[in-house]
Amino acid sequence: MKQQLDPNGRQLQAGLLTRTLKGVINVSLAAFLSATLFTALPATGIGLKSPFLQSGQRNRESFDSETLGGTLRVGLVVGHWGNDVGAICPDSLGGYREVDLNYTIADLTRQYLQVEGVEVILLKEFDEHLKGFQGDALISIHADTCEYIPDLGTGYKIAEAVDNKRPEQAARLMACIKNRYGNISGLRYDHRITPDMTSYHAFGEVDPNTPAVIIETGYMNQDRELLTKNPSLVAKGITAGIMCYLNREEISPE
Ligand SMILES: [Zn+2]
């Protein structure tokens, strides 16, 4: 558990309250069980890990959200927003600007996640709120170059924050998005992850307990049709990946 690391103390208080309540409940239940069942049952089989005591727990990934009242919170960085335009396609290829594609995709993802009851914060590339950002996940949305790259200029990439304090969560967030996004977009996974991605600036800014990933949704040249004509499918792929993580869904092996 990580509550003590919270600088503003909200989680510490919530965590203490939860633990205190759980302690009271556990003690009461233990007393109740001892009083009523001790003589009736053999010594084994009734412990505090009984399913009876676990049944009220939600099957969600995040401990933070439970202690903070149940609302899941996700940050979406709109790649390049507020800073530059990112990759650009020549006029002959539609003149698309990466920042515009990223915004459309991120905003649709925000809408889909909100339908699922998730609180979403759209963030600029160098948003002041990135510093110490606390949430159930942070996803930065980018798209790859519009240059024509024979054979290899198609597919999506994902990288995770490696020095995250919850490496299992970060790895699972990445695996979920990789799996769901690939299935829904139909794009192949591009393994050529660049240092730009692994050392992405926001990874060092968010709270180290917030799992963070960056996705390159596709190449603006060969995957342009998908990115520009069907951004809702792109957003659905990202949304499904995030919900897979938040709901601890099964990920089928690749
Ligand atoms: Zn970019």
The pLDDT assigned to 151 comes to 86
Q: Ligand 1 centroid vs 86 CA: distance in angstroms? A: 5
Same domain, 195 and 221: yes
Q: Ligand 1 centroid vs 74 CA: distance in angstroms? A: 20
SS3 call for 18: helix
Q: Ligand 1 centroid vs 101 CA: distance in angstroms? A: 10
Same domain, 42 and 152: no
Q: Classify the phi-psi angles of 151: left when phi > 0, otherwise alpha if psi is within -120 to 50, otherwise beta.
A: left
Total domain count, the chain: 2
Q: Is residue 253 one of the residues assigned to a domain?
A: no
The average confidence (pLDDT) of the chain is 81
The pLDDT assigned to 253 comes to 65
Q: Ligand 1 centroid vs 182 CA: distance in angstroms? A: 19
Same domain, 112 and 227: yes
Tokens of 128: 């002041």
Residue 154 CB contacts under 8 Å (≥ 6 apart), including other chains: 187, 188, 190, 218, 219, 222, 223
Same domain, 19 and 102: no
Round to whole Å and give the CA distance between 132 and 248. Answer: 25
The pLDDT assigned to 254 comes to 56
Q: Ligand 1 centroid vs 32 CA: distance in angstroms? A: 59
pLDDT tens-digit series, residues 8-60: 434 444 444 444 444 444 444 444 434 433 333 333 333 333 333 333 334 45
Q: Is residue 107 one of the residues assigned to a domain?
A: yes
The pLDDT assigned to 180 comes to 98
Q: Ligand 1 centroid vs 206 CA: distance in angstroms? A: 19
Same domain, 80 and 124: yes
CATH number where 91 lies: 3.40.630.40
pLDDT tens-digit series, residues 114-129: 999 999 999 999 999 9
Same domain, 170 and 237: yes
Q: Is residue 26 one of the residues assigned to a domain?
A: yes
Same domain, 119 and 36: no
Q: Pairing state of beta strands 137-144 and 212-219?
A: parallel
Q: Pairing state of beta strands 157-160 and 212-219?
A: antiparallel
Q: Is residue 252 one of the residues assigned to a domain?
A: no
Same domain, 18 and 90: no
The pLDDT assigned to 50 comes to 33
Residues surrounding ion ligand 1 at CB below 5 Å: 79, 86, 142
Domain final position from 32, 57, 82: 57
Same domain, 39 and 140: no
The pLDDT assigned to 106 comes to 98
Q: Ligand 1 centroid vs 135 CA: distance in angstroms? A: 22
Q: Ligand 1 centroid vs 215 CA: distance in angstroms? A: 9
- Say if residue 163's pLDDT is above 90: no
Same domain, 39 and 98: no
Same domain, 76 and 49: no
Q: Is residue 183 one of the residues assigned to a domain?
A: yes
- Say if residue 1's pLDDT is above 90: no
Same domain, 133 and 26: no
Q: Ligand 1 centroid vs 251 CA: distance in angstroms? A: 27
Q: Is residue 208 one of the residues assigned to a domain?
A: yes
Q: Classify the phi-psi angles of 186: left when phi > 0, otherwise alpha if psi is within -120 to 50, otherwise beta.
A: left
The pLDDT assigned to 28 comes to 45
The pLDDT assigned to 214 comes to 97
Q: Ligand 1 centroid vs 61 CA: distance in angstroms? A: 29
Q: Ligand 1 centroid vs 84 CA: distance in angstroms? A: 9
Round to whole Å and give the CA distance between 25 and 19. Answer: 10
- Say if residue 3's pLDDT is above 90: no
pLDDT tens-digit series, residues 171-205: 999 999 999 999 999 999 999 998 889 999 999 99
Lowest average pLDDT, out of 73-82, 154-163, 231-240, goes to 154-163
The DSSP result for 163-229, as a single string, is T-S-HHHHHHHHHHHHHHHHHHH-PPB-----HHHHT-GGGGTS-TTS-EEEEEEEETTTTHIIIII
Round to whole Å and give the CA distance between 109 and 119. Answer: 11
Query: Within a 10 A sphere around the Cβ of 116, how many other Cβ atoms?
Result: 14
- Say if residue 95's pLDDT is above 70: yes
Query: Within a 10 A sphere around the Cβ of 204, how many other Cβ atoms?
Result: 13
Q: Ligand 1 centroid vs 196 CA: distance in angstroms? A: 10
Range of the structural domain that residue 20 is part of: 7-57
Q: Specify which of 49-58, 99-108, 157-166 reaches the highest per-range mean pLDDT.
A: 99-108
Q: Ligand 1 centroid vs 207 CA: distance in angstroms? A: 22
Q: Ligand 1 centroid vs 81 CA: distance in angstroms? A: 10
CB 187 within 8 A of CB 226: yes
Tokens of 23: 């302690």
Q: Is residue 79 one of the residues assigned to a domain?
A: yes
Q: Is residue 65 one of the residues assigned to a domain?
A: no
